[in-house]
Chains A and B, each alone.
Chain A
Amino acid sequence: MTNMAVSSSAGDPACAVKVRRLRKRYQGKAAVDGIDLEIERGEVFALLGPNGAGKTTTVEILEGHRRRDGGEVSVLGTDPAAGDRAWRARIGIVPQSDGATGELTVREMVAQYGAFFPRPRDPDEVIAAVGLTEQAGKRLRKLSGGQRRRVDVAIGIVGRPELLFLDEPTTGFDPQARRRFWELISALSQDGTTILLTTHYLDEAEALAGRVGVLAAGQIVALGPPAELGRSADEATVSWLAPEGIRSVQTSKPTQCVIQLSESTGGEVPGLQVRRPSLEDRYLELIAAAEQAASSESGAAR
């Protein structure tokens, strides 16, 4: 499906987002420190990382809401720093926020934003898609935090964007609302919308994204399908009960290890366990390693 969308875009670059050596400093401190990134059309890509890792800075640069200090950036074939209104009409943005508020009703707000785009979606359909049909006539000020955030999402998609940016979209959602939101994102992706989201929820990245980039201390420390994040060669742990106690081995070939064990014990291996670190274990390890490297580097610079 992704491939078809790509091959049909003759003349258009195959990449929705292309980033080379992106850099951004605040008061001399690197917030984004040489990121390379490519996102294909039709892909759902998640930028995962702790607070302060540079996720929002990166996304804001891609949205044209922040200037970069170095590197090359192309979003839908255009440098965001020079993006014009026609380019803006092709992207949708859900910024990090506490949600839209004020004295407009949900319907008035969504219809207003639709009116800025050349081919908007029907506001009522969008309101239904984010699950706010019952609140459509309510003032934004009177909505709950999660409902306001869903208005943000409605505003982001009402313009029928080819590329949608979602900056921590589900912060403050209850589990049920998150589930519904995930379904909405899947539906948008099925319609061919390219999606770049940031999150610090692993399960969210796993549920939505085809690929994940882990950002730590301004650098991408891992990139790939969520199930393969940070997977290293000798990541399996084989343990068993030996006469002298519990023994364990780190190995990249757990099956072979078990066969050898079985041969040596002549059949059943007592207390046999083969464990792989969970996604969360590997993620936390990646982040810790990257932050340690960054702090020792800045320590050396001092």
Chain B
Amino acid sequence: MIAAASQAGRLDRAASRLPSLPRQALVRGLVEIKLFFRQRESVVFTFALPMILLVLFGQIFHGTIGSTGVSFRQYFIAGIIASGLMSATFVNLGVSIAADRDDGTLTRLAGTPLSPVGYFAGKAILAFVVALGEVVALLALGVGLLGLQLPTSAGRWLTLAWVLVLGAATCSLLGIALSCLVKASTRSAVAVMNLPYLVLSFISGVYFVFSQLPTSLQRVAAIFPLKWICQGLRSAFLPDKLLVAEPAHSWESGRIALVLGAWLVASLVICIWTFRWPGQDRR
């Protein structure tokens, strides 16, 4: 009976297929989303913090930017959406991969037929769901509480869409790449991911008007993606008369796509180079 069972097993194996990549991604994605929303830390810091900041800054800041007549609220809401996007993708993924490495999840997954691509596809699903939720919540708060003007034309909605999608993809991959490079414990990953996130938030035109920052900081910020995501979102939300307050006096859509695309490709290369299931890189 036992022999028959094991023989039947062998025949079945030939017929049965390994779960497809979309199926693996879906299984992992659902698990990731459950885990994210069941962890108080991630819900508070990653998800709620940008909303709290939005409401706080909305109470503090009033007035218009220079002679443009554009409300500063409108300006920083675009910035906080960009910053929330980075938190939901870059910080979130960087910390969650470190946690997976720390608590043995990666070792367990590595022992199964799950492919690394399926694992990362699950992370991508997590990042996009959290980012989408974040952006929708921030938009709702902005419109409801702070009188945010939604984009006024189809073209601007399109800009909003591509900047968000490209920005989320770039920041997600960058978070994964940094996490692969540093291989930090969960606790230090929180610091490793939050430090660049906070510094970039301050120098990229989230809380301050970008053109009013010292030129040296502007130059540093221009190397990194967040500045360009902020600029892209301003181009979706703010009228063209604000352009006098932009350093380049243009929204620079082409350059935004180029810089984000370059970071995307570089991060992807780093991910492919550096990621191994645990143990498979140990000699």
Taking CB atoms, residues of chain A closer than 8 Å to B5 are: 191-192
The answer to whether the Cβ of A300 comes within 8 Å of any Cβ in the partner chain is no
The answer to whether the Cβ of B154 comes within 8 Å of any Cβ in the partner chain is no
Taking CB atoms, residues of chain A closer than 8 Å to B23 are: 115
| Distance to closest chain A CB from B165 (angstroms) | 28
Asked if B107 contacts A116 (CB within 8 A), the reply is no
| Distance to closest chain B CB from A106 (angstroms) | 14
Contact with B along A54-71 (1 / 0, CB 8 A): 000000100111110000
Contact with A along B93-112 (1 / 0, CB 8 A): 00000000001110111111
**Partner of B34 from A41, A91, A104 at Cβ < 8 Å:** A104
> Using a CB-CB cutoff of 8 Å, which residues 206-248 of chain B contact chain A?
none
* Chief secondary structure at chain A's binding surface: loop
Known: A1-B2, A12-B10, A118-B13. A88 touches B104 (CB 8 A): no
| Distance to closest chain B CB from A289 (angstroms) | 31
Contact with A along B267-283 (1 / 0, CB 8 A): 00000000001111011
Q: How large is the interface on A (under 10, 10 to 19, 20 to 34, 35 or more residues)?
A: 35 or more
20 CB-based A-B contacts, threshold 8 Å: A4-B2, A5-B6, A41-B6, A42-B2, A65-B111, A85-B18, A86-B18, A89-B113, A101-B103, A103-B39, A104-B35, A112-B28, A115-B19, A118-B13, A118-B16, A119-B12, A119-B13, A160-B9, A162-B6, A192-B5
- Besides A8-B4, A104-B31, A104-B34, 7 new A-B residue pairs in contact (Cβ under 8 A), listed by A number: A9-B6, A65-B107, A88-B112, A113-B112, A115-B24, A116-B19, A116-B112
| Distance to closest chain B CB from A54 (angstroms) | 15
- Give the interface of B toward A (CB within 8 A): 2-7, 9-10, 12-13, 16-19, 23-24, 27-28, 31, 34-35, 38-39, 103-105, 107-115, 277-280, 282-283
| Distance to closest chain A CB from B3 (angstroms) | 4
| A86, B16: Cα distance in complex, Å | 10
- Give the interface of A toward B (CB within 8 A): 1, 4-5, 7-9, 12, 41-42, 60, 63-67, 85-86, 88-93, 95, 97-98, 100-104, 108, 112-113, 115-119, 139, 152, 155, 159-160, 162, 190-192
| A116, B21: Cα distance in complex, Å | 10
Known: A115-B19, A116-B27, A116-B113. A191 touches B2 (CB 8 A): yes
Taking CB atoms, residues of chain A closer than 8 Å to B2 are: 1, 4-5, 42, 190-192
Which residue of B2, B4, B27, B282 has the most chain A CB atoms within 10 A of its CB atom? B2
Closest B residue, CB atoms, query A3 = B3
Known: A9-B10, A65-B110, A67-B282. A95 touches B16 (CB 8 A): no
Closest B residue, CB atoms, query A65 = B279
| Distance to closest chain B CB from A139 (angstroms) | 8
| A162, B282: Cα distance in complex, Å | 27
Closest A residue, CB atoms, query B40 = A103
* Chief secondary structure at chain B's binding surface: helix
| A296, B140: Cα distance in complex, Å | 74
Identify the 6 closest CB pairs spanning chains A and B, nearest first: A93-B111, A65-B279, A103-B38, A4-B3, A118-B16, A192-B6
Known: A112-B31, A116-B19. A100 touches B108 (CB 8 A): yes
Taking CB atoms, residues of chain A closer than 8 Å to B277 are: 65
Known: A66-B282, A191-B2. A117 touches B112 (CB 8 A): yes
Taking CB atoms, residues of chain A closer than 8 Å to B107 are: 65, 95, 97
Asked if A65 contacts B280 (CB within 8 A), the reply is yes
Asked if A102 contacts B103 (CB within 8 A), the reply is yes
Closest A residue, CB atoms, query B99 = A102
**Partner of B3 from A5, A65, A103 at Cβ < 8 Å:** A5
Asked if A95 contacts B104 (CB within 8 A), the reply is yes
| A62, B13: Cα distance in complex, Å | 21
| A7, B38: Cα distance in complex, Å | 51
| A108, B277: Cα distance in complex, Å | 23
| A155, B109: Cα distance in complex, Å | 10
Asked if B9 contacts A162 (CB within 8 A), the reply is yes
Taking CB atoms, residues of chain B closer than 8 Å to A104 are: 31, 34-35
Taking CB atoms, residues of chain B closer than 8 Å to A115 are: 19, 23-24, 27
Closest A residue, CB atoms, query B115 = A85
Taking CB atoms, residues of chain A closer than 8 Å to B12 are: 119
| A8, B4: Cα distance in complex, Å | 8
Taking CB atoms, residues of chain B closer than 8 Å to A155 are: 108
Known: A42-B2, A66-B282. A90 touches B13 (CB 8 A): yes
Asked if B279 contacts A88 (CB within 8 A), the reply is no
| A97, B278: Cα distance in complex, Å | 14
**Partner of B104 from A12, A85, A97 at Cβ < 8 Å:** A97
Taking CB atoms, residues of chain B closer than 8 Å to A93 are: 108, 111
| Distance to closest chain A CB from B163 (angstroms) | 33
Taking CB atoms, residues of chain A closer than 8 Å to B10 are: 9, 12
| A160, B110: Cα distance in complex, Å | 17
Asked if B279 contacts A60 (CB within 8 A), the reply is yes
Closest A residue, CB atoms, query B281 = A67
**Partner of B27 from A5, A64, A89, A112 at Cβ < 8 Å:** A112
